[in-house]
Chain A
């Protein structure tokens, strides 16, 4: 573990990070880097230092410099036109995604952009989506200028390939309109129905007619507009030859309306308009609760939301900017530092130090020499490189893997609720048939009456209500605990899981600095300085980790420095020959530990000690695996070498399967093989190399670290620090079905009471009007109450974070 260097660390005035040993002073304030100072000075000059008073240290670290011409591609007309949302003679509207937005200072600064540049007419932040919409006069300032202004104040826009395709995410508001209309009509119909229920004066009978006609008129918008999605869904399912829960609901609704219109026309009764509109109102609430979306999350993310818009191509010694889809085979691409590799290629110039953490979850960068193949998805960390494209963007290793499995659409109609509603409806049809036979013998005039009453009661809306309300509440509880599901179906998928597959790197382990353990002769300061000075000469990730672990003080000059790729480094530091490297390199005995990541240190040819680099597991992961082990089959799939096998075997026992050196395709095939054995598989992973497996699994859960906003497409996203609670989350999903069933049984009791009256031909609108809301409300109470109780039992009570 690395200890903080000084007990009272100086924090940067801008970003709040530790300034280290040499804080920079400007205006009697401490800063960690030139980048943070630059932002401060811009704000200070415009008198906008309120930014720093609204929130303490609101900025984000500016240590990684943005390349000055990074946004040059915004000058290209084609790219410019496809990014902007509106443009007329003078104004242009653009929406940028700024992942840095996190506090009220951000909001304040971004909405005051016009004070920094007068040609920006207005800017509006959507906080939950982390977006800012800017309106500017394009004669005075260009799109690139706006992007660069945002970058200069520390909010670099994230522009991805996805924005070119114009796939806009937006919340479907039509359901809310439908709900509003249904609520309005329902409430008014209730009011107009009261006089009749309470017994209206006989000499005011003409009022009754007015009320009935008003009710009818008010029920029309509900019938024609609010309920439309039930018709569509029922029709779709009938076309596919399946009977889903909406079909009997539509039947009941239509029968109710038919009978009510008949009663109204013949003057025999007031009809059931209030019950009909009420039930549709409640069902819509349930559906909206269940479909609650998480604005800041995108479950359908593919590689386009991660890849940049444009890249530099070198043709005939000139640089030109092209969009990613225009990259062709044998193009030579110039990649600047911090740029993403967009297509598989051969390194032709420079030395690549590539961070594949998004792809593999592994934080230690990979070094590639000239002539080696680099795969798309990694980020170049060092100086510029050039590469020769050998696969086009959508043909590259990772993107192809993604495209292949996108077609594997998951069937949405498989919920147990649909099955249950089918039996329920069949039983009620059977009862209806019995009742009709009975009355055809005794009093044929009442058949019609009885039949319609039974069909009205036969509506499985109680089941739909209990299901949607329970699902909605469980989604909410999970969301409050940092576990976000794509939709309600995932709850059932998780509950059915009997095998859990974990990715290792980045999922079970932390994808930041590895743990370093040192053993050997004590690292006295003079040795420490020597080792650190030598290690900091190399850009090899392992050397860097060691240098970082030792700390930055007391650097000395290194002479005759030598680096032998794949072996180690050595050099004279303060007249001593210091060597760092593999056992063979320093002529030491290899240790018995099979872990490959052991680095040996020798000084003047004498073995001094060994550094062990280890994966650092997230907190409480061993506990989680211990708990899950007994109940589910567990597999660990890792793209890494088997160095961690002994540790994991000790934790999980010999019988647990562990596969190492697994490529993305192999991971996916492994899951498919499990499914062919009839297992329901949940996959927990984090990187793009898990994308195929996440898609293939019955429930694919992506782990998201707070510092990484990007997760591959999945059925659910879990915040990394909440992963240890996985066991409880699964149990809550198990409880879902029970709660739905309890609420359903209670509502069946109401149905039995209703049926009791209905088969006798005595279901008056009054009883219907009491039974319907009463049953809806008790379902609501039961599903909310029970699921909250269960959540409290598993200590998943509301987390104050959201």
Chain B
């Protein structure tokens, strides 16, 4: 029985972790520009490794 309570708290804390990740994502503005990200991913990194400055 008590193992269930341990499991519940474990699952709750994992869920809390994801909630935190979600809030962090939004704060960082990762959902602010959908179009830009979808274009950026298609660029080839060029030889001088110059492109990825972020």
List residues of chain A with CB under 8 Å of any chain B CB. 50, 54, 104, 107-108, 111-112, 114-115, 122, 124-129, 171, 173, 176-177, 180-181, 184, 187-188, 192, 204, 206-207, 210, 214
Specify which chain A residues have a CB less than 8 angstroms from the CB of B1 in the assembled complex: 204, 206-207
Instruction: Select B51's contact among A112, A124, A180, A207, beta carbons within 8 Å.
Output: A112
Interface contact B26-A112, CB-CB below 8 Å: no
Interface contact A114-B53, CB-CB below 8 Å: yes
Instruction: Select B33's contact among A129, A173, A188, beta carbons within 8 Å.
Output: A129
Instruction: Select A214's contact among B8, B26, B42, B50, beta carbons within 8 Å.
Output: B8
Specify which chain A residues have a CB less than 8 angstroms from the CB of B53 in the assembled complex: 111, 114, 122
CA distance A751 to B9 in the complex (A): 36
Specify which chain A residues have a CB less than 8 angstroms from the CB of B19 in the assembled complex: 180-181, 184
State whether A210 and B23 are in contact (beta carbons under 8 Å apart), knowing that A115-B50, A127-B39 are contacts in the complex.
no
CA distance A181 to B19 in the complex (A): 7
> What are 17 A-B pairs at a CB distance below 8 A?
A54-B43, A104-B43, A108-B43, A124-B54, A126-B36, A127-B33, A127-B35, A128-B32, A128-B34, A128-B35, A171-B32, A173-B26, A180-B23, A181-B19, A184-B16, A188-B15, A207-B1
Closest CB pairs A-B (n = 6): A127-B36, A104-B39, A127-B35, A184-B19, A126-B33, A180-B22
Contact pattern, B 37-48, Cβ under 8 Å of A = 1, otherwise 0 = 001101100100
Specify which chain B residues have a CB less than 8 angstroms from the CB of A115 in the assembled complex: 50
Specify which chain B residues have a CB less than 8 angstroms from the CB of A187 in the assembled complex: 15
Specify which chain B residues have a CB less than 8 angstroms from the CB of A171 in the assembled complex: 32
Specify which chain A residues have a CB less than 8 angstroms from the CB of B5 in the assembled complex: 207, 210
Q: Is B10 an interface residue (CB 8 A)?
A: no
Specify which chain A residues have a CB less than 8 angstroms from the CB of B4 in the assembled complex: 207
Specify which chain B residues have a CB less than 8 angstroms from the CB of A184 in the assembled complex: 15-16, 19
Instruction: Select B42's contact among A104, A112, A122, A207, beta carbons within 8 Å.
Output: A104
Across the interface, name the chain B residue whose C-beta is closest to A103.
B39
| CB neighbors of A among B1-27 (8 A) | 1, 4-5, 8, 12, 15-16, 19, 22-23, 26-27
- Among A115, A127, A187, A207, max chain B CB count under 10 A is at A127
Specify which chain B residues have a CB less than 8 angstroms from the CB of A177 in the assembled complex: 23, 26
CA distance A122 to B33 in the complex (A): 18
List residues of chain B with CB under 8 Å of any chain A CB. 1, 4-5, 8, 12, 15-16, 19, 22-23, 26-27, 32-36, 39-40, 42-43, 46, 50-51, 53-54
Specify which chain B residues have a CB less than 8 angstroms from the CB of A128 in the assembled complex: 32-36
Number of A-B contacts (CB under 8 A): 62
CA distance A715 to B31 in the complex (A): 26
Specify which chain A residues have a CB less than 8 angstroms from the CB of B22 in the assembled complex: 180
State whether A122 and B54 are in contact (beta carbons under 8 Å apart), knowing that A180-B22, A184-B19, A204-B1 are contacts in the complex.
yes
Across the interface, name the chain A residue whose C-beta is closest to B31.
A176
CA distance A295 to B23 in the complex (A): 21
Instruction: Select A176's contact among B26, B40, B51, beta carbons within 8 Å.
Output: B26
Specify which chain A residues have a CB less than 8 angstroms from the CB of B35 in the assembled complex: 127-128
Across the interface, name the chain A residue whose C-beta is closest to B52.
A111
Specify which chain B residues have a CB less than 8 angstroms from the CB of A192 in the assembled complex: 8
Specify which chain B residues have a CB less than 8 angstroms from the CB of A114 in the assembled complex: 50, 53
Across the interface, name the chain A residue whose C-beta is closest to B43.
A108
Across the interface, name the chain A residue whose C-beta is closest to B27.
A173
Specify which chain A residues have a CB less than 8 angstroms from the CB of B33 in the assembled complex: 125-129
Taking A104-B39, A129-B33, A204-B1 as known contacts, 12 extra A-B pairs with beta carbons closer than 8 A to each other, sorted by chain A number, are A104-B43, A112-B51, A114-B50, A114-B53, A127-B35, A128-B33, A173-B27, A184-B15, A184-B19, A206-B1, A207-B4, A210-B5
B43 to chain A, nearest CB (A): 6
CA distance A210 to B15 in the complex (A): 18
Across the interface, name the chain B residue whose C-beta is closest to A123.
B53
A496 to chain B, nearest CB (A): 34
CA distance A206 to B51 in the complex (A): 60
A528 to chain B, nearest CB (A): 48
Across the interface, name the chain B residue whose C-beta is closest to A104.
B39
CA distance A129 to B36 in the complex (A): 10
Specify which chain B residues have a CB less than 8 angstroms from the CB of A210 in the assembled complex: 5, 8
CA distance A192 to B4 in the complex (A): 12
CA distance A312 to B32 in the complex (A): 38
B51 to chain A, nearest CB (A): 7
B9 to chain A, nearest CB (A): 9
CA distance A21 to B27 in the complex (A): 54
B31 to chain A, nearest CB (A): 8
CA distance A171 to B19 in the complex (A): 20
Interface contact A107-B26, CB-CB below 8 Å: no
A562 to chain B, nearest CB (A): 56
Specify which chain B residues have a CB less than 8 angstroms from the CB of A108 in the assembled complex: 43
B3 to chain A, nearest CB (A): 11
Specify which chain B residues have a CB less than 8 angstroms from the CB of A50 in the assembled complex: 46
Interface contact B34-A107, CB-CB below 8 Å: no
Specify which chain B residues have a CB less than 8 angstroms from the CB of A126 in the assembled complex: 32-33, 36
Interface contact B12-A107, CB-CB below 8 Å: no
Specify which chain A residues have a CB less than 8 angstroms from the CB of B8 in the assembled complex: 192, 210, 214
A47 to chain B, nearest CB (A): 9
Specify which chain A residues have a CB less than 8 angstroms from the CB of B32 in the assembled complex: 126, 128, 171
Specify which chain A residues have a CB less than 8 angstroms from the CB of B42 in the assembled complex: 104
A623 to chain B, nearest CB (A): 34
CA distance A128 to B42 in the complex (A): 17
CA distance A192 to B51 in the complex (A): 49
